[in-house]
Amino acid sequence: MAPDQLRRPKVSVCYVREDLQQVARLVDDLQKAGVDVWWDKRIPGGVRWKDKIRQHIRDGNFFVACFSDEYWARSATYMNEELIVACEELRLRRRDTAWFIPVRLSDCQIPENVIGAGETLRDLQRVDLWQDWDEGIRRILDVAAPDGPVPDEVRAELIRLDSEDPGTRAAAALALGGLNHAAAVPALRQSLHDAEATVRLRAVGALDNIDDLRADVAPALVRCLFDEDPDVRFLATSMLGDIGPGAASAVPALVECLHDRGYQTAELAAWVLGRIGDAAVPAVAPLIEWLCREGAAGRAAQRALDAIRTIGEAAVPPLTKCLQHEERQVRMEAACALGDIFGPPAEAAPALIECLHDTDDERREQAAWLLGGIGDPGEAGISELTELLEDDCPHVRNTAREALADIERGPDG
């Protein structure tokens, strides 16, 4: 499924307030099918609402006008103003493309507003929801759905997803994942807030199964990173990794996940930060600090270093800043990361010299090797390397000897 096919069409809906209950049902059904519905209930406080309505009528991919006996019973209604704007917009659009969809909520007339070329609104094919609601929704979606008509089995599971029974909701979410249809995404995204952990887990899993997962799902997944259920947290973190650079907005939350009480989720968060790339630069220092908390060896270290390596050259400034960190261990890890990944810069020499006193043989050996690569670590560096020639570990002694030889030869040696 191509990304442009997954864009949600924008539909504006107009109605009279007496039909609010039926229109709310219409809006809900369209949203479940993947349509981005705009109606007056979405107008934020403080804005000029008439201007907002006109704007959305003109900007929408489709316009749905709901007519009923209640509409005809009104002697005056702002809906008539909306119809004037919509008819003017309709005249500007191509005749071979549907845009204005008249909908009847009861057995009533369609008004005879002129739309040009001797035609009125009555010349447009209407949709009758009052006779067969489901069939009427299907006909609207034939025009407005993002991927064509929504299959019956998808629509059936979307209905079950609204069940009062948590088991039914969980089963519906699982089924929607197997059906792999983009129209299920909005409803599944809502299910990430379900009161039942099983439903939330099934919703995350279903979204993971849908092809071409969109970056606009990332904000909903970020909320799942703090879910009380560890399985929900783990799966949501994994999905953000699948989204990759499109999940840049999740970086602050992923940094918090490095403190997750479930170690697997913390380790996965480090991997995801690497997948995001340049946008994850703010995570470099926290990754180093996490590495220090978890220990310099093992998978934690590898995950953190891999993530920083993937972030690339943009990681150098924050790593260099870590060389001034108040905690000695952080300074040491930052220096070694700089040396391992990008080549040892001269600024790392003081922290690397500190590493020469580490109790870990491999760490002392690594620091000695990196100091040799700097070229001129200064008198203090040479003095400390000379002392390592008496180290208890033969590997450390040999590496210190080679580092001193490299320093003596110089960069052109």
Phi and psi dihedrals of 42, rounded to 5?
Answer: -95, 5
Render pLDDT for 149-208 as a digit per residue (tens, 0 to 9): 567 888 889 889 989 999 999 999 999 999 988 778 778 888 898 999 999 999 999 998
User: What's the DSSP call for residue 61?
Assistant: S
Both tokens assigned to 369 = 């090797």
Looking at mean pLDDT, say which of 326-340, 352-366, 396-410 comes out highest.
Answer: 396-410
> What is the tens place of the pLDDT at every residue in 25-34?
999 888 877 7
Please give the DSSP secondary-structure letter assigned to residue 148. Answer: B
Does residue 300 carry a pLDDT above 80? no
Task: Quote the CA–CA distance of 376 and 384 in Å, as a whole number.
Answer: 13
> Residue 127 pLDDT > 50, yes or no?
yes
pLDDT digits (tens, 9 = 90+) for 273-286: 989 988 899 998 88
Contact 201, 172 (CB under 8 A): no
Write the DSSP symbol of residue 146. B
Helices (H) then strands (E): counts for the chain: 21, 7
Q: How far is CA 153 from the centre of its chain?
A: 27
Rg (CA), the chain: 31
Backbone angles phi, psi at 127, to 5 degrees: -120, 125
3-state helix, strand, coil in the chain (%, to 5): 65, 5, 25
Q: Give which of 118, 60, 119, 127 is closest to 89, Cα–Cα.
A: 60
pLDDT (tens digit per residue) in 56-106: 888 888 999 999 999 999 999 999 999 999 999 898 888 888 899 999 999
pLDDT score, position 200:
95
Instruction: Give dist(CA 86, CA 101) in Å, integer.
Output: 11
217 phi-psi bin (left φ>0, alpha ψ -120 to 50, beta other): alpha
CA-to-CA separations, 152 to 135, 157, 173, 179, 374, in angstroms, rounded? 11, 9, 15, 11, 67
Mean pLDDT for the stretch of residues 256-283: 86
C-alpha 388/C-alpha 410 separation (Å) is 20
What is the distance between the alpha carbons of residues 300 and 294, in angstroms, rounded to a whole number?
Answer: 6
Q: How far apart are CA 288 and CA 146, in angstroms?
A: 44
